[in-house]
Amino acid sequence: MRKRYENLDAVRSNKSMKDMLRWGKERRSKVKDLTKRIEQAPVKRINELKQNSSTTSYTWIGHSTFFIQMNGLNILTDPVWAKRMGYEKRTTEPGIAMEDMPEIDVVVISHGHYDHLDFPTLKRLKGNPQYYVPVGLKRLLVRRGYQNVTEMNWWDRIEHQGVTIHFVPAQHWTRRTLTDINTSHWGGFIFQSAAETYYFVGDTGYFPGFKQIAELFSIDTVFMPIGAYEPEWFMAPAHISPEDSVKAFIELGAKQFVPMHYGTYRLADDTGPEALERLLQAWNNHSLPEEQLKVLLIGETVFEGGA
């Protein structure tokens, strides 16, 4: 029998058919403006990214996909270029077209949900990347023909060409078929170089793990989810609200907040603009410095040091 993985404190996201029917009824009663989209960056710095081998940078492709350059490595988080997610069409084009992407050295996958692990996307990646995945997920990638796959447990660390990669807890769950619920784990990744420490949170509800992570790491930039939280009575164990994402940021003591997991796929009842509006309101409510919040446009690139 395959192992089933759990959250800290054994928090579960299990929902009954009654819960699903209640959500469906609520959703039909809501009126949402789906015409407003998260904008594309007016300038894409593709040539600079292709030529860059020394400056740390990050680019938001959309959803939970970031292209990170660190210590000369090209890293992708949860690469998903899919045009659809279930019945829903992608609401924005990827920030960089797949054909314009450079070769990838490292891919990290936070968990096995389809909006974070998309095999048609992986098949199109250039290069021969090393994959770092949660424990239990390797067998699926190997079965699909991927050989450079390393599994990680929570709190594991691996050195990869001058970058230390840590796998840290998140509060979530995973499933790809009717029978494989929670047979692989989930989590976030921390990337440490001599110059920067980035924390890619993955998919999570608000949980005590943020405080534990803060005790172990001094984080420069956190890539934090803010979307797919509505209805909160249904989503809260697995998807953090904008307000709780700000609370988590404060607990982490990070220097900069970069929001993600909103405005690309409609996975819940909230919209991208709604998530962003609530984030900005929560930020103001806590009187946090404006310069610590970096809201990216789709395809926008930040070069550390302002290059």
Residue 244 lies in a domain: yes
Please state the pTM of the whole predicted model: 0.97
Domain total in the chain: 1
Residue type, 279: L
pLDDT, position 13: 84
Domain carrying residue 248: 38-303
Confidence check: pLDDT of 8 > 90: yes
Give the pair of three-digit tokens for residue 88: 């829903």
**Higher pLDDT among residues 34 and 91, named by residue:** 91
Cβ distance 293 to 254 under 8 Å? no
CATH number of the domain bearing residue 170: 3.60.15.10
Q: What mean pLDDT is predicted for residues 166-179?
A: 96
Residue 11 lies in a domain: no
Sheet bearing 106-108, strands edge to edge:
149-152, 130-134, 106-108, 73-77, 65-70, 57-62, 301-303
Residue 211 lies in a domain: yes
Confidence tier at 306 by pLDDT (50, 70, 90): low
Residue type, 301: T
Residue 28 lies in a domain: no
pLDDT, position 1: 75
Residue 159 lies in a domain: yes
Residue 31 lies in a domain: no
Neighbours of 6 (CB within 10 A): 12
Confidence tier at 307 by pLDDT (50, 70, 90): low
Confidence tier at 264 by pLDDT (50, 70, 90): very high
Cβ distance 224 to 201 under 8 Å? yes
Confidence tier at 31 by pLDDT (50, 70, 90): confident
Residue 3 lies in a domain: no
Residue 269 lies in a domain: yes
pLDDT tens readout for residues 106-142? 999 999 999 999 999 999 999 999 999 999 999 999 9
Residue 290: burial class (beta carbons within 10 Å; 0-12, 13-18, 19+): exposed
Question: Percent of the chain beyond pLDDT 70?
Answer: 99
Q: What mean pLDDT is predicted for residues 15-30?
A: 90
